[in-house]
């Protein structure tokens, strides 16, 4: 069985989609990252970028079988789910995972709420594919497919969110969004999740200068992420969940400054693919 692991970005924005001429280079779709572990597909978040990923999967194979892990269910991270084409094709399979929704009735009830009157014209029952709903508690270790281990931890975000670490074939990829990193020291559980990972994709909505105006909003700065990566011995750092007010020129400036502060650091953009 092949042990190749790769990552591809389908949506990199936070809060709201922002398509237009000023966001062409980095993209305007909200959070969605595809991780390929051999022949298996893991998807992280169902932002508006999920629609394009679904179309690509349908073109690639007549049978789509994927696991979709939600960091949380704020609308920018869930809005793409009703437009994920493979879920509406008989014979396809979608496994949904969420770690902070038990108090709200679980991930199944959350999806029903999204796809219901007066918010949406059809209900989830219109999907002809098989959908499985899996609720877990942050801190659990998941084994969605043979040879794949997914570690989880709670994040600091209003309403809660979950961070993920995927281990496969001797490599580790970490996905952390949305979270507010504290200036008083890193949560030990988060540090353990990130430590020595090959790739870390992390929420860096703001700059340090912008943080004071957004305390309690549940997001971090790219400078905080760099400091975390240095402390945890991370391989490659990818800045993610970009503020919709940060246009391409601003993202270029952030990319240059981050690369100076930690060489090799990259700003995530739609279409960027990495082989581990």
Q: What is the pLDDT of residues 172-214, one digit of tens each?
A: 999 999 999 987 778 899 999 999 999 999 999 999 999 999 9
**Two tokens at 87?**
């879920």
Mean pLDDT to the nearest integer, 65-73: 97
Confidence category of residue 3, pLDDT binned at 50, 70, 90: confident
Other CB atoms within 10 Å distance of the CB of residue 22? 14
| Structure letter (DSSP) for residue 30 | B
- pLDDT tens digits for 92-148? 999 999 998 887 889 999 999 999 999 999 999 999 999 999 999 999 999 999 999
Binned at pLDDT 50, 70 and 90, residue 2 comes out as: low
| Full residue range of the structural domain in which residue 52 is found | 5-275
Tally of domains in the chain? 1
Q: Phi first, then psi: what are they for 25, rounded to 5°?
A: -70, -35
Give me the chain's average pLDDT, please: 96
Does residue 90 come out as left (phi exceeding 0), alpha (psi in the -120 to 50 range) or beta?
beta
* CB burial readout 192-207, b (16+ within 10 A) else e: ebbeebbbbbbbbbbb
CATH of the domain at 257: 3.60.15.10
* Whole-number pLDDT of residue 207: 98
Instruction: Measure the CA–CA gap between 161 and 158, rounded to whole angstroms.
Output: 8
């Amino acid at each position: 069985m092949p042990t190749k692991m790769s990552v591809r970005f389908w949506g990199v924005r936070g809060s709201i989609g922002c398509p237009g001429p000023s966001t062409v280079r980095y993209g305007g779709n909200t959070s969605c990252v595809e991780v390929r572990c051999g022949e298996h597909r893991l998807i992280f978040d169902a932002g508006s970028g999920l629609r394009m990923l679904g179309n690509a999967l349908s073109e690639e194979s007549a049978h789509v079988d994927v696991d979709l892990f939600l960091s949380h269910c704020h609308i920018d991270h869930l809005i793409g789910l009703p437009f994920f084409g493979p879920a509406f094709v008989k014979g396809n399979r979608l496994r949904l995972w969420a770690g902070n929704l038990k108090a709200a009735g679980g991930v199944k009830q959350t999806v029903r709420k999204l796809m219901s009157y007066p918010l949406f014209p059809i209900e989830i029952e219109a999907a002809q594919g098989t959908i499985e709903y899996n609720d877990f508690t942050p801190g659990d270790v998941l084994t969605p497919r043979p040879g794949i281990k997914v570690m989880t931890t709670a994040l600091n975000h209003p309403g809660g969110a979950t961070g993920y670490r995927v281990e496969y074939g001797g490599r580790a990829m970490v996905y952390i969004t949305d979270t507010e990193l504290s200036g008083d020291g890193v949560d030990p559980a988060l540090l353990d999740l990130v430590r020595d990972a090959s790739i870390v994709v992390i929420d860096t909505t703001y700059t340090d200068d912008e943080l004071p105006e957004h305390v309690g909003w549940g997001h971090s700065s790219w400078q905080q992420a760099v400091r975390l990566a240095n402390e945890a011995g991370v391989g490659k750092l990818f800045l993610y969940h970009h503020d919709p007010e940060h246009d391409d020129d601003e993202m270029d400036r952030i990319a240059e400054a981050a690369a100076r502060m930690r060489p090799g650091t990259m700003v995530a953009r739609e279409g960027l693919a990495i082989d581990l």
